[in-house]
Chain A
Amino acid sequence: MITRRRFLIMAGSALSAIALTATQAEKVLAAFAQPAIDQKNVKWGMVIDLRKFNELPQRKRRRVYEVCKEIHNIPVFPNPKDRVEWIWASDFEHTFPEQFNEYFEEQFKWLEVPVLCNHCENPPCTKVCPTNATWKREDGIVTMDYHRCIGCRYCMAACPYGMRSFNWRDPRPYIKKINTTYHTRTKGVVEKCTFCVERLEKGMEPACVEASEGTFMFGNLKAMESEVSKILREHFFLRRKVELGTEPKLYYLL
């Protein structure tokens, strides 16, 4: 039996629920209607100055990798085979195997090279995805829809740089401190670096760039006057496995 009082309570809560969803829907719609980035005139790119980066103390270099883990709720698993990483430290030999030779200067051999998704202009990983769960945005960022990914790992087979990670197990218990402003992933989906697209939309630089103390540079490659464009015009740079025609947008200065 529904009493008058009970009916009023129910009606009231239903109305407020509708109002609440309406405001949330407005927010979501607003986010779509006014993109923070003018995607057509932007092509994001990153330059890493390896010499300057290696001059940083180890504590500061580590911070670059750690800040990414903290912001993006990246788990740390006990077993290395399960690991999930968006940016990590590699060395010159493994990052640029085709450049490496025995007469290379000693300093190059021991160079720490940060590797992350290259956000290729011709990404081999996106075209193989059977469900459209990963794609290249107009501004050049290769991104993921974690809700659509079926976990077939074809993109991991396709990526020539090994920059994609799979959640072999439930990541949530292994996140040190959950950042409630960013999403977590479920087990069974692939994830990767997104050039901190959520920060770019707020007008901020990617987290690793911010933590790098000026050794990482980030900007619009389409704009002639941007810092990255200027540097690339004036310096010799390396990109990973250029012979594959993937056109990485991550540039390394030596």
Chain B
Amino acid sequence: MIEYALRGGRYYWTWIAILIAVIAVGGASYYYQYQNGLTVTGMSKEVSWGLYIGNFTFLVGVAASAVIVVLPAYLYDYKRFKNVTAIGEFLGASAVVMCILFIFVDLGRPDRVLNVVLNPRPNSVMFYDFIVLSGYFLLNIIIAWSVLAAKEKSKGYSTWLKILIYIAIPWAISIHTVTAFLYGGLVGRAFWNTALMAPRFLAGAFASGPSLLILSLLVIRRFTNFDPGYDAIKKISEIVAFAMVTNLFMIGAELFTVFYSAQPHHLEYFVYLLFGLKEGAMYYGKFVPWIWTSLILGIVSAIMLIIPKVRNTPRYLAIACGLVFISIWMEKGIGLIVPGYIPSQVGTVVEYWPTIPESFISLGVWAGGMLMFTLLAKVAIGVLTEGVVEEEEVEEEEVEELEEELEEVVEEKEYRCELCDAVFKNIDECCEHAEKEHKIAKASCDMACVEAEPTAKQYKCELCDAIFDNVDECCEHAEKEHKIAKASCDMACVEVDEE
């Protein structure tokens, strides 16, 4: 199966080369960070999580796309999604790999990462996050790979695979829930300390993941000969529409609670995020344009998705999905993490903005995930389209055979007038002849006209009894072997009937 990833056209290899170049830049930046410490990032004593954890949080949501596709396809045996299942699951697996990489690049001591497993603390949410993310990655890879392998061998799914699929569904819900609890469980961070965190995560996840899946499917439809089926895309776009509206609703509910009750320590984070904070003569509001862009894009995309006419037009759907993706990336990414730290725990305002090395490392991780998804999707498309191509070929061959047969039938079915042994190309000519010559009515034409037996004539060389299909071959033979001139070929070659 893996060999499909090694076959591709110019565009494919260019894309791979670009991704590898970005990964190389990211890798070099990570080396720089590893040497100098996390001081090369924009993070500080006050804002101790930033772009990395923001991307991590967002990508946990993207990994939802797998469950979106798996759930209806398997639970309800929903046939329309079956074609895109493997692609969705590979997208989920790639997103989880990015999550793990983002956690890894954020660690101060990446060399000690195994301590999470060696010295686990069962009441740390991060320990569970580590477990559910690794488990989710393994589940997705194993399921998608086995599904493709089964498809390639055109076999059904084995029982263990079905059990894994059923496990994967609640597991996908768990990765968002646990990640939301990571923040929601912190008593000291009023910005995150809300029960709405997990539902908001799920709503955002169900919008951003499938919208990326739709974008990928639209790209795949355009650049490969694999058609995931517009039906499936339509169905997923409905899910995105509902999820995006729910997401906006929950943001609204959060904002109402905070602003109407106006509890100062809840309020100050949201004031910073939405309007900026004033401290003396200083104004702090780096995230104000950021969050408003996100909200406006979110509202525009939700309106686009609600209107069926817009949603069902591929071009507008692509734009709406792009807007959903960007809006949620801004809002559930650093838009969710950084304001949790501003103002700080001692009431001071220290702002955060990512540095260049930090951004390069993040781009590198994104490129790594995209590379993984490209390779896996290539394999999936390879397996999925190979079946299709074979079927088409089979059909074409069959058609050709049929046509040939038809031609043969037309050629062979000559009609002979029994009364005078005349041969006609078809029954009509024969009947006309019978009417004219033998006064037989066309209605009873079958009295005279019968199908002529195919007369396959062959030629035999009388000198050596060799048999040839036509006279020319026989004459040539006679000239070569028996020194008989072509002009007097009839001395040697005689017609013979078959048998």
Contacts and interface: CB of A to CB of B under 8 A. Distances in A.
A188 B107 contact: yes
Interface string B320-355: 000000000000000000001100111110100000
Please report whether the interface of chain B is mostly helix, strand, loop or mixed according to DSSP. loop
A148 B37 contact: no
Interface residues of B, number: 47
A160 B109 contact: no
A189 to B, nearest CB: 6
A115 interface: yes
A150 B188 contact: no
B43 A131 contact: no
Contact of A149 (B109, B118, B125, B265): B109
Interface in A88-124: 90, 93-95, 97-98, 115, 124
Given A81-B46, A129-B121, 20 more contacts: A81-B43, A90-B346, A94-B346, A97-B264, A97-B265, A115-B346, A128-B186, A129-B124, A149-B112, A151-B38, A152-B103, A154-B182, A157-B340, A166-B48, A168-B44, A169-B36, A169-B39, A187-B108, A188-B38, A189-B108
B116 A130 contact: yes
A166 B108 CA distance: 9
Contact of B45 (A81, A94, A150): A81
Given A149-B109, A168-B37, A82 B346 contact: no
Given A148-B119, A152-B106, A124 B350 contact: no
A156 interface: yes
Q: Which of B119, B182, B264, B265 is most buried by chain A, counting CB atoms within 10 A of its CB? A: B119
Nearest to A165: B45
B121 A130 contact: yes
Interface string A161-186: 11101111110000000000000001
Contacts of A162: 45-46, 344-346
13 contacts: A81-B39, A82-B44, A95-B346, A128-B124, A128-B125, A132-B119, A133-B119, A148-B115, A150-B108, A151-B38, A156-B48, A165-B45, A187-B37
A195 B350 CA distance: 28
B313 interface: no
A157 B116 CA distance: 18
A81 B188 contact: no
B79 to A, nearest CB: 42
B189 interface: yes
A135 to B, nearest CB: 9
Interface of B: 36-39, 43-46, 48-49, 103, 106-110, 112-113, 115-116, 118-121, 123-127, 130, 182-183, 185-189, 264-265, 340-341, 344-348, 350
Contacts of A199: none
Given A130-B130, A187-B108, A150 B37 contact: no
Contact of B123 (A85, A127, A152): A127
A151 B45 contact: no
B345 A152 contact: no
Contacts of B340: 157
B265 A132 contact: no
A186 B112 CA distance: 13
Contacts, number: 150
A83 interface: yes
A160 B130 contact: no
Contacts of B48: 153, 156-157, 166
A35 to B, nearest CB: 22
Nearest to A171: B37
Contacts of A127: 121, 123-124
B207 to A, nearest CB: 26
A128 to B, nearest CB: 5
Contacts of B107: 150-152, 188
A213 B188 CA distance: 33
B115 A131 contact: yes
Contacts of A187: 37-38, 108
A159 interface: yes
Contacts of A149: 108-109, 112
A90 B113 CA distance: 35
B115 A160 contact: no
Nearest to A146: B109
A132 B119 CA distance: 6
A245 interface: yes
B119 A188 contact: no
Contact of B39 (A82, A124, A156, A158): A82
A126 B81 CA distance: 45
A154 B124 contact: yes
B188 A161 contact: yes
Contacts of B115: 130-131, 133, 148, 150
Given A83-B45, A166-B38, A151 B108 contact: yes
A246 B344 CA distance: 18
